[in-house]
């Protein structure tokens, strides 16, 4: 089992989608239970990843299968600490997404559940791939179930949203594909480790850097290529939103870590300021945009963009710290912060979207003005909502704090100006999140929508408890997570210190 | 003999346990849940307080060593370590006792005050959670945990200000409080980052021992601008204190926080949480001593707060708001003390203030219960004969507040004023004027409040309630009012006219009066007992560090010949004269010539307006940050996000493709002569180009 653990994790949900699909619309409960069992099984199996030894070699649990023999492409999989953390998050969120969508999806639930499983398997594949072409295949394939999810179970403007999502991200991918093809004709392999060691001139690196950057920046998404995200979120069903926010955005930043840092370290160092500036713009500018949103989902979508700004900031600040000051210590701290922020944002944004889903299922509106005084009707929901809102504005004790704290601490060493702008999130983040809470949760019941809300069901409560446990556990004691990723982060920082020219 | 880790853990975790029981178990127990909530939380508090006293005893008389140990590693990245751990020295022990004691008293008081509130168990859960957070803050041995406690008390404050979440004013106030505090935390977190950058540690002990190394270090701001590292660190940290301890211009949230139930006004917004900033600066004294620029900044901010917020208190009519402004002013005094390097004086005033201000708030709460949740003093008067215990204890608290000799407030405040007089720090002259004038101001609002509430004519009328069952009627009224009132001056209690009561005011039950008495005792005596060791006896030891050149307290200490002598000497000093002047003025106006107050108000209309509008600070800040932020957000969203990026770039490129496709379509006309013509042109251009630019 251990020799093929990663394959198992990828293919179990993907193959498992077949029987779920076969259950048919006539037996929705069977489809649901099957899907739940498969996600639980995937999660349980993924726990074996914790055997990853942070003190051992960086890449572990390696598997190689010949894929396209004539091109020398191998289906190679392996994980480091960062992948393990992301996969565990994915499998955990997978259960909660199935649980959250249980009875909500009435229209062809078997297809919906199958889609979810397919998505889960593909996302795990992204995090395991150590061959660039395999990565690319999974990276692109993820779009298909997401496209179907929004297109079939989405809101009224789903056609616009799906097209925008698809064309936006596909445009980016074209640049990545060109970059990969260039690398292939130089190295005659897609093996990431070989590509990392490939000597490249600065000019080559610069072209490759921007090729990769465009592809991944769209996925993250970074300003100014973020506008597909709010539209996609608004039209997506709750489960789609949760996948999108919790895991799909992470494959953008994960790609940066896997491609830009090792392959183009010199160009990365040279152009890091661009990404840093865009990250700070994301934190502040998007914060302001989030403040005035009238649709809850859009608000949280924008807040996702702002939070992902911390991830890109942490990653690229490391270049600045290492290359200019030789400060690997702070570079590691910032990078570690970025990684923790990825995991944390998965849970926090997933929870926020789930909360919105819980309300939406009762009222069928996402407009903030249709709410007010929800706590009067749903007191326990209020507890969770405040908890996740606090995590969203980075309150210590919740996971939202940990990554931001590390990135801000490190940023001061890079430049007090970066720290100044990054720390601004403390105010603006609290502003848009708590103003949302004020308008939705607190106050007297003023609208008919709210008057008819019913308390949470047991299923909804368990899903939110699942998120809450993750958010609080990381917030109270991040060391296990940090330790898991520590050696991998140190390895990354070493990689970006390498001069290739 | 050292302090034991398990004892310290118990002190911190017992309230958390109580909070969890009250929050997550009580709601499922039906009626019994209420009893479970208050008995479990109070039992936990008793354990904590008893152990806190034991810790204090061990550290003072028991000869125990200071405690400084990490409990667990929060994260470790390279050499950067962030841990959860405790540092317990006398400073911490004193804070533990003060926080624990006031919290216990407030728990007790809550049984009476919140009796008929539907959120009874939730309230107990919150105040116990607050106590846990505050303990974590004061026991911390590093900046991470400090920040955790700092934000956690902010969270509970947010929840408690908005406790009556149906009231629009309450949920406005709690959002405002959180955001203004976040502005402070913005500086605070940057300060912590600066500490890590320059001192390479988050641990107090290592940071303090490395602090002297800050001298001469600079922070590069721009290519040719450098700032002194110690000054930057200290001012940034102090910005955090300005938020939490409500210093000008971040003071605006505290008066609004009075929207919360009165017990938490006493606990959080007077005695403990708001003093966290003072405690933090005292704890950081080794850092602050490195920068006299930063201390001057502290001094000027504190002095401004002490005088100008006190002035607002004079024109308030809401009994709780008077005390709230008084709290701001007293926090200003503590900050001034910090600014002249008199850290132990600041902490000493923090302690005495905690007792007498909690007493005043709880006394005000007792009045509010008696008045059926009327808070406007214009409808009170003559209450002394209805509620003698409240009346006497509030006078005790008031005397301490105005620094009447022998009361606890005298020892702490008088020492601060004298120390400011001795200080040569930049800004000390201004500060001396402010704290001296502040004494008169304190006297004016305090005596005015006491007269309006307890003395003079009764300005309310009693109309008998309908129905015979007195008790039921009364509890109904209290319940209604809890949900809807306890409030802004223009918002009155359930259905009634202002100043119309359904039955006469009466003294509050014992769960309310016993806490008053428990607080009145230290308000009177604690200063007399502790002034010698705490101020002049180096009681805090190594917990507080003062450079010899800055040590005004030592200078002051040469003239100290015991607490009694100090008090007697106080009778001959200017502050006492000012208090007497204030007393005479108030007595004349409110006892002998009540019409005079209105005449003065009319005569000084412009000044009165300035104070009544609170110098328009709220309006300006709201316009700048709240409205401004929304405007900016709308601009960004509509103009650049939806307009430029989506409108021009995204949809624009779609349109571009559309148009170019249309163009292409037009090119493919299908007429042979079009193609032939195009070919001829092409050939000409190619050859022409080749002739011109080729070789």
pLDDT tens by residue, B501-552: 888 888 888 888 999 999 999 999 998 988 888 888 888 888 888 888 888 8
Going by the DSSP 8-state scheme, the letter that residue A378 receives in this structure is -
Q: Identify the pLDDT of residue B519.
A: 93
Structure-block tokens of residue A292: 């005035």
Number of domains in chain A: 1
Residue A36's pLDDT band (cuts 50, 70, 90): very high
Q: Are A305 and A221 in contact (CB under 8 A)?
A: yes
Percent of chain B with pLDDT over 90: 52
Q: What pLDDT, on a 0 to 100 scale, did the predictor assign at position A61?
A: 85
Q: What is the pLDDT of residue B468?
A: 43
Candidate from B155, B183, B633 with C-beta closest to A288 = B633
Question: How far, in Å, CA of B139 to CA of A310, rounded?
Answer: 31
Q: How large is the average pLDDT for residues B621-634? A: 81
Q: Where are the alpha helices (DSSP H) in A24-55?
A: 28-46
Mean pLDDT, rounded, for B335-360: 93
What is the band of B42 on the pLDDT scale with cuts at 50, 70, 90?
Answer: very high
Residue among B175, B186, B650 whose CB faces A426 most closely: B186
Q: What angle do CA A481, A418, A214 make, to 5 degrees?
A: 75
A376, HSE (Cβ side, Cα atoms, 13 Å): 20
Flag whether residue A289 sits within 8 Å of chain B, measured between CB atoms: yes
Closest alpha carbon to A285 in A271, A302, A300, A269: A302
Q: Is the pLDDT of residue B238 over 70?
A: yes
The predicted structure's pLDDT at residue A440: 93
Does the distance separating the beta carbons of B178 and A478 come in below 8 Å?
no
DSSP secondary structure letters along A57-72: -SSEEEEEEEEEGGGT
**pLDDT the model gives residue B466:** 55
Distance CA B129, CA B113 (A): 19
d(CA B113, CA B120): 10
pLDDT at B491: 38
Q: In which band, very low, low, confident or very high, does the pLDDT at B394 lie, cut at 50, 70 and 90? A: very high
Could you tell me the pLDDT band of residue B633, with boundaries at 50, 70 and 90?
confident
User: Which tokens sit at B155?
Assistant: 């969270």
For B68-86, how does the pLDDT look when each residue is reduced to its tens digit (9 = 90+)? 999 999 999 988 999 999 9
SS3 A355: helix
Mean pLDDT, chain A, whole residue set: 91
For residue A337, being part of any structural domain is answered with yes
Cβ neighbors of B649 (< 8 A, separation 6 or more) are A224
A497 touching chain B per CB within 8 A: no
Residues 149-178 of B with CB under 8 A from A: 151-152, 155, 158-159, 162, 165-166, 168, 171-172, 175, 178
Residues 505-534 of B with CB under 8 A from A: none
Residue B488: pLDDT above 50?
A: no
Phi, psi of B88 (to 5 degrees): -120, 110
* Beta bridge partners of residue B227, listed in sequence order: B219
Q: Are B286 and B216 in contact (CB under 8 A)?
A: no
Q: Would you say the ipTM is above 0.95?
A: no
User: What pLDDT was estimated at residue A162?
Assistant: 87
Q: How much is the pLDDT for B494?
A: 45
> What is the rounded distance in angstroms from the CA atom of residue A54 to the CA atom of residue A336?
14
User: Tens digits of per-residue pLDDT, B407-446?
Assistant: 999 999 999 999 999 988 999 999 999 999 999 999 999 9
- A214-239: average pLDDT: 90
Q: Show residues of chain B in contact with A328, CB under 8 Å.
A: 78
- Asked if pLDDT for residue A1 goes beyond 70, the answer is no
Which residue on chain A is closest to B119 by alpha carbon? A379
Are residues A431 and B629, on separate chains, in Cβ contact within 8 Å? Answer: yes
pLDDT at residue A286, as a whole number:
92
Q: Is residue A501 part of a domain?
A: no
Query: What is the span of the domain harbouring residue A226?
Result: 5-496
List pLDDT tens digits, range A336-392.
999 999 999 999 999 999 999 999 999 999 999 999 889 999 999 999 999 999 999
Which chain A residues contact residue B175 at CB under 8 A?
A: 434-435, 438
Q: Give the Cα separation of B313 and B329 in Å (integer).
A: 9
Give the tens place of pLDDT for each residue, B172-210. 999 999 999 999 999 999 999 999 999 999 999 999 999
B positions 180-219 inside 8 Å of A (CB): 182-183, 185-186, 189-190, 192-194, 196-197, 219
Are A89 and A247 spatial neighbours (Cβ–Cβ below 8 Å)? yes
pLDDT band at A474 (very low <50, low <70, confident <90, very high): very high
Q: Which residue of A has its CA nearest to B77?
A: A333
Query: What are the structure tokens assigned to A55, written together?
Result: 């003190």
Quick one: pLDDT at residue B431? 94
- Put simply, the answer to whether B189 touches A412 (Cβ < 8 Å) is no
Residue spans per domain, chain B: 5-460+500-592, 618-693
Q: What value does the mean pLDDT take over residues B437-464?
A: 89
Higher pLDDT, A77 or B381: A77
Q: Does the pLDDT of residue B477 top 70, yes or no?
A: no
Q: Is the pLDDT of residue A215 over 90?
A: yes
Mean pLDDT for chain B? 87
C-alpha dihedral sign at B405, B410, B411, B415: negative
Q: Which helix (H) or strand (E) holds B199?
A: helix B168-199
> What confidence category does residue A2 fall into, taking pLDDT thresholds of 50, 70 and 90?
low
> What confidence score (pLDDT) does residue A482 get?
94
**Percentage of residues of chain B with pLDDT beyond 70:** 95
Q: Is B430 exposed, middle or buried (0-12, 13-18, 19+ CB in 10 A)?
A: middle
| Backbone φ, ψ for residue A396 (5° rounding) | -55, 145
Flag whether pLDDT at B474 surpasses 50.
no
List all residues 6 or more positions away from A432 whose beta carbon is below 8 Å from its beta carbon: A287, A290, A291, A293, A299, A302, A303
Residue B614 zone, left/alpha/beta (φ > 0; ψ -120 to 50; rest): left
Q: How far apart, in whole angstroms, are the C-alpha atoms of residue A287 and residue B87? A: 38
Question: What is the pTM assigned to this prediction?
Answer: 0.91
Count each helix (H run) and each strand (E run) in chain A, helices first: 24, 2
* Total H helices, total E strands in chain B: 29, 6
Q: What's the pLDDT band for B473 if we cut at 50, 70, 90?
A: very low
pLDDT score, position B485: 38
pLDDT at B496: 60
What integer pLDDT is reported at residue B509 of this predicted model? 87
Q: What is the average pLDDT across A166-192?
A: 89
pLDDT at B663 over 80: no
Residue B492: pLDDT band by 50, 70, 90 thresholds? Answer: very low
Residue A132 above 60 pLDDT? Answer: yes
Mean pLDDT of B3-32: 92
Q: Would you call the peptide bond into B185 cis, given omega within 30 degrees of 0 as the criterion?
A: no
Residue A313: pLDDT over 70: yes
- Residue in A289, A333, A438 nearest the CB of B77: A333
Task: Give the Cα separation of A62 and B247 in Å (integer).
Answer: 59
- What would the pLDDT profile of A98-115 be if each residue is shown by its tens digit? 998 888 888 888 889 999
pLDDT above 90 (res B615):
no
Categorise residue B233: left if φ over 0, alpha if ψ from -120 to 50, beta otherwise.
alpha
pLDDT at B295: 94
Compute the count of residue pairs across chains A and B with CB atoms less than 8 Å apart.
Answer: 143
Name the pLDDT band for A53 (thresholds 50, 70, 90): confident
pLDDT at residue number B21: 94
Instruction: Say whether B72 and A444 touch across the interface (CB within 8 A).
Output: no
Any B CB within 8 A of A397 CB: yes
């Amino acid at each position: 089992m251990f020799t093929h653990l990663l394959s198992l994790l990828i293919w179990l949900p993907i193959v498992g989608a077949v029987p779920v699909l076969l259950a048919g619309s006539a037996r929705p409960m069977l489809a649901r239970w099957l899907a739940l069992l498969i996600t639980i099984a995937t999660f349980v199996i993924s726990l074996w990843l914790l055997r990853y030894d942070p003190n051992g070699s960086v890449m572990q649990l390696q598997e190689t299968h010949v894929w396209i023999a004539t091109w020398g492409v191998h289906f190679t999989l392996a994980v480091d600490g960062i992948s393990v953390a992301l996969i565990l998050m994915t499998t955990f969120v997978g259960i909660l997404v199935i649980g959250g969508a249980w009875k909500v999806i009435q229209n062809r639930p078997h297809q919906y559940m199958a889609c979810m499983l397919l998505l889960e398997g593909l996302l795990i594949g992204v995090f395991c791939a150590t061959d660039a072409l395999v990565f690319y295949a999974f990276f692109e394939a993820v779009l298909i179930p997401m496209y179907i999810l929004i297109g079939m179970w989405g809101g009224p403007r789903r056609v616009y949203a799906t097209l925008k999502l698809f064309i936006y991200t596909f445009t980016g991918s074209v640049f990545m594909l060109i970059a990969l093809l260039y690398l292939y004709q130089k190295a005659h392999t897609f093996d990431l480790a070989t590509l990392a060691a490939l000597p490249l001139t600065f000019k080559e690196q610069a072209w490759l850097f921007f090729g990769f950057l465009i592809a991944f920046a769209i996925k993250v998404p970074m300003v100014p290529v973020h506008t597909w995200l709010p539209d996609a979120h608004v039209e997506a069903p709750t489960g789609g939103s949760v996948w999108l926010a919790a895991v799909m955005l992470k494959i953008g930043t994960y790609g940066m870590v896997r491609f830009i840092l090792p392959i183009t370290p010199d160009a990365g160092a040279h152009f890091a300021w661009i990404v840093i500036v865009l990250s700070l713009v994301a934190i502040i500018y998007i914060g302001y945009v989030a403040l005035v949103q009238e649709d809850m989902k859009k608000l949280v979508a924008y807040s996702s963009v702002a939070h992902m700004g911390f991830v890109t900031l942490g990653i690229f600040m490391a270049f600045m710290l290492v290359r200019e000051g030789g400060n690997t210590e702070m570079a590691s701290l910032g990078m570690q912060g970025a990684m923790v922020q990825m995991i944390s944002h998965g849970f926090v944004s997933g929870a926020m979207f789930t909360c919105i889903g819980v309300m939406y299922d009762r009222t069928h509106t996402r407009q903030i003005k249709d709410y007010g005084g929800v706590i009067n009707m749903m007191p326990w929901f209020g507890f969770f909502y405040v908890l996740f809102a606090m995590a969203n504005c980075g309150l210590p004790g919740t996971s939202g704090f940990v990554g931001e704290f590390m990135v801000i601490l490190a940023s001061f060493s890079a430049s007090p100006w970066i720290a100044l702008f990054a720390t601004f999130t403390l105010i603006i983040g609290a502003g848009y999140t708590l103003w949302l809470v004020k308008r939705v949760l607190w106050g007297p019941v003023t609208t008919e929508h709210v008057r008819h809300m019913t308390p949470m069901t047991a299923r909804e409560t368990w899903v939110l408890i699942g998120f809450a446990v993750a958010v609080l556990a990381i917030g109270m004691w991040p060391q296990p997570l940090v330790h898991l990723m520590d050696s991998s982060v140190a390895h990354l920082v070493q990689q970006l210190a390498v001069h290739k020219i | 003999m050292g302090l034991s880790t398990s004892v310290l853990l118990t002190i911190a975790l017992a309230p958390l346990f109580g909070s969890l029981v009250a929050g997550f178990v009580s709601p499922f127990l039906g009626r019994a849940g209420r009893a479970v909530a208050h008995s479990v939380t109070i039992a936990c508090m008793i354990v904590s307080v008893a152990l806190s006293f034991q810790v204090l005893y061990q550290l003072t008389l028991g000869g125990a060593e200071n405690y400084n140990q990490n409990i667990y590693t929060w994260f470790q990245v390279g050499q950067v370590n962030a841990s959860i751990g405790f540092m317990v020295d006398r400073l911490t022990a004193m804070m533990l006792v003060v926080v624990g004691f006031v919290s216990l008293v407030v728990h007790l008081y809550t049984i009476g005050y919140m009796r008929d509130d539907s959120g009874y168990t939730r309230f107990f859960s919150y105040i116990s959670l607050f106590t846990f957070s505050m303990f974590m803050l004061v026991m911390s041995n590093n900046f991470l945990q400090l920040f955790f406690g700092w934000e956690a008390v902010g969270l509970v404050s947010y929840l408690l200000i908005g406790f009556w979440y149906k009231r629009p004013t309450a949920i406005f106030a709690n959002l405002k409080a959180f955001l203004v505090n976040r502005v402070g935390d913005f500086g605070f977190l940057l300060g912590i980052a600066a500490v890590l950058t320059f001192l390479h540690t988050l641990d107090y002990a290592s940071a303090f021992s490395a602090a002297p190394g800050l001298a001469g270090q600079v922070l590069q701001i721009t290519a040719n601008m450098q700032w002194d590292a110690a000054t930057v660190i200290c001012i940034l940290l102090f910005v955090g204190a300005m938020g939490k301890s409500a210093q000008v211009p971040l003071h605006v949230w505290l008066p609004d926080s009075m929207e919360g139930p009165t017990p938490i006004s006493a606990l959080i917004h007077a005695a403990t949480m708001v003093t966290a900033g003072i405690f933090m600066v005292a704890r950081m004294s080794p850092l602050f001593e490195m920068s006299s620029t930063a201390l001057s900044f502290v001094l000027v901010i504190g002095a401004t707060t002490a005088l100008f917020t006190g002035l607002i208190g004079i024109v308030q009519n809401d009994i709780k708001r008077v005390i709230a402004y008084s709290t701001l002013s007293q926090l200003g005094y503590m900050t001034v003390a910090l600014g002249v390097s008199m850290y132990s004086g600041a902490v000493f005033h923090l302690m005495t203030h905690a007792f007498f201000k909690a007493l005043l708030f709880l006394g005000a709460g007792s009045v509010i219960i008696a008045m059926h949740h009327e808070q406007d003093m214009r409808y009170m008067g003559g209450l002394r004969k209805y509620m003698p215990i409240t009346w006497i204890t509030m006078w005790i608290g008031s005397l301490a507040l105005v620094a009447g000799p022998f009361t606890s407030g005298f020892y702490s405040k008088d020492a601060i004023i004298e120390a400011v007089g001795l200080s040569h720090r930049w800004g000390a002259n201004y500060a001396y004027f402010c704290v001296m004038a502040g004494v008169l101001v304190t006297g004016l609002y305090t005596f005015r409040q006491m007269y309006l509430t307890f003395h003079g004519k009764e300005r309310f009328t009693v109309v008998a309630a309908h129905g015979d069952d007195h008790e039921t009627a009364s509890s109904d009224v209290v319940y209604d009012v809890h949900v809807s009132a306890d409030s802004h001056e223009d918002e009155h209690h359930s259905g009634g006219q202002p100043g119309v009561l359904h039955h006469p005011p009466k003294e509050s039950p014992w769960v309310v009066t016993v806490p008053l008495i428990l607080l009145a005792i230290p308000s009177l005596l604690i200063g007399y007992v502790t002034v010698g060791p705490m101020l002049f006896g180096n009681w805090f030891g190594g917990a507080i560090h003062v450079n010899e050149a800055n040590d005004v307290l030592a200078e002051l200490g040469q003239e100290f010949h015991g607490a009694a002598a100090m008090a007697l000497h106080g009778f001959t000093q200017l502050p006492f004269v000012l208090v007497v002047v204030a007393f005479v003025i108030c007595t004349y106006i409110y006892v002998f010539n009540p019409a005079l107050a209105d005449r003065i108000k009319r005569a000084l209309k412009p000044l009165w307006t300035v104070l009544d509008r609170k110098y328009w600070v709220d309006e300006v800040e709201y316009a700048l940050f709240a409205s401004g932020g929304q405007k900016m957000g709308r601009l960004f969203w509509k103009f650049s996000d939806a307009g430029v990026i989506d409108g021009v770039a995204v949809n624009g490129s779609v349109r571009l493709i559309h148009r170019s496709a249309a163009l292409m379509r037009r090119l493919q006309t299908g007429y042979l002569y079009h193609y032939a013509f195009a070919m001829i042109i092409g050939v000409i251009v190619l050859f022409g180009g080749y002739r011109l630019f080729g070789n």
